[in-house]
Every structure is written in structure tokens, then in C-alpha cells.
Structure 1
């Protein structure tokens, strides 16, 4: 028996599939497909807010340099504004790394619910529902490999 995927809720082997508290032998699954739920605009707004959080200090720093170059002030004042603007722009770098990591994790989770459905003799059954796009992809690919004709004998 070959194990294709296993976590606390899902087990996919070369002989059976256990998901959503139910177990099916592979020959029982006539057809398997997936559906995508509605997009979560809250997740998308969160990604946009993170992007703005990264960009705002850069814009403020660039604005400070622009003001320093265009204002009629002493060299010391102009230099102070330029250095302040550059330092503000550079201060974003460590924070941007943390925020970009959060954006990456947001894309791993996805912005919509994903479902795996199967057809058995009794009708259509929901095998799995998750918001985690990365986990969904791993499970669906494992299920495809388990159901490949070369594997099923």
C-alpha cells in the first residue's frame, strides 16, 4: 500500500481515501472534482492594507526629499530634509520583509474556500472543504495520483 498524503483529517492511500470523517475505497469513487467558493474580499483588502503599509513610508520619504529640493532654505536645512527622507525610506526595509512574509502566507492560504467532491453510487459527497489553498493543492494532487489508472488495478 502506498501512502500519498496524510494529516490528522485526511489520509489518501493506494487503496482508500479518508476525508471529512468518511472513508471510501478507491473503486467506490466514480468521479472526483473540485469547486471554488466565493472570493473573500476581506482577505484581498488585508493584502492591500499590507501593501499600503509598506509603501506609505517610502512615499513620505520621497516627499521629504522632494520638499527639500524645492524649498528655498539653507543648505543645512535642505540636507537635514534629504537625510531624513532617505532614512525614513530605508527604515521600511526591515519592516517590509516581515509584512511581505505575511502577504506570502496570505497567498498560501488563499482568498476563497475550496471543496473536493466525489461521486459514489449513493450520490455526490463532499470530501473536503478548506480555505488553505496550499493544503488543498497537496491533497487534490495526492488524490489524482491515487486515482490514476496505472495505480488502480
Structure 2
């Protein structure tokens, strides 16, 4: 038996799929497909907030430099305002690494609900539902590899539609 994917809730082997304590033998699974739900506005708003947090100090620095030039004060005051603005802009450096990491993890997780379905004993069954796009992709690819190794011909498709043969011109 070959294990293609294994975590605490899902295990994909060459013989079966185990999800949250339920076991589906691959020999009993027919067509397998996936569906994507609507976007999560909460995730998108979080990404926007991270972007605003990244841009805020930089915008403040540029506005400070613009203010220094616009005020036409003495050279000492202008240099002080420009210096303070540059320090504000540089202050975002250490914070930027943390914010970019958070933004990167947000994209890895995804912003949609993802579901994997299969025809099991003649009925459509939802095998898995998650918002974690990276994990879902790993599980779905593991299912593809496992089903390619089973003797029965299996079909893996998207959005619940059956694959259509390509017509050649």
C-alpha cells in the first residue's frame, strides 16, 4: 500500500481515502470532481488591510517630503522634516517582512470554499470541504495519483461536469 497524502484528518492511499474517520475504498469511487465556492469578503478585506498597513508609512514619508518643500522654510527646518519623513518610511522595513509573510499565507490559504466530490455507490458524496487552498491542492493531487494507479478507469474533473472529448479540426 502506498500513502500519497497523510495528515490528522485526511489520508489518501493506493487503496482508500479516509476523511474524518470515514473510509472510501478507491475501487468504489466513480467520478471525482471539485467545486469552488464564492469568495470570502473577510479574507479579501484582510488582504486590503495588510496592504494599507504596508503603504501607510510610505505615504506619510512622501507627504512629509512634499510638505517640507511646500512650506518654503529655512534649510534646517526643511532638512528636519525630510529627515523625519525618511525615518518614518524606513520604519516600515522591519514591519514589512511580517506583513508580507501574512499576505503570502493569505494567498496560500485562498479566499474560496473548496469541495471535493465523488460518485460513491451511485450517489454524489462530498468527500472534503475546506478553505485552505494549499492543503486542498495537495489532497486533490494525491487523489489523482492514487486513482491513476487503480485498475478501474476513473475520471477526475472540475466543477461537477464530465470531461468532454476534444474535437480536432
TM-score (norm 1): 0.95
Shift of 1:56: 0.9
Q: What residue is the counterpart of 1:65 in the other structure?
A: 65
Quote the residue 1:55 is aligned against.
55
Equivalent position of 1:16 in the other structure: 16
SS in structure 2 at match of 1:12: strand
Deviation at 1:122, TM superposition (A): 3.7
Structure 1 residue runs of 5 or longer lacking an equivalent are none
What runs of 5+ residues in structure 2 fail to find an aligned partner? 152-169
Question: Normalising to structure 2: TM-score of the pair?
Answer: 0.86
Alpha-carbon contact 1:109-1:132 (below 8 Å) kept? yes
State the number of aligned residues. Answer: 151
Alpha-carbon contact 1:20-1:128 (below 8 Å) kept: no
Decide whether the 8 Å contact of 1:20 with 1:127 is kept in 2: no
The separation in 1 between residues aligned to 2:91 and 2:147, in whole angstroms, is 52
Large movers: runs of 4+ above 4 Å: none
Partner of 1:34: 34
Aligned match for 1:152, one of 147, 150, 153: 150
Task: Output the CA distance in 1 between the equivalents of 2:81 and 2:37.
Answer: 50
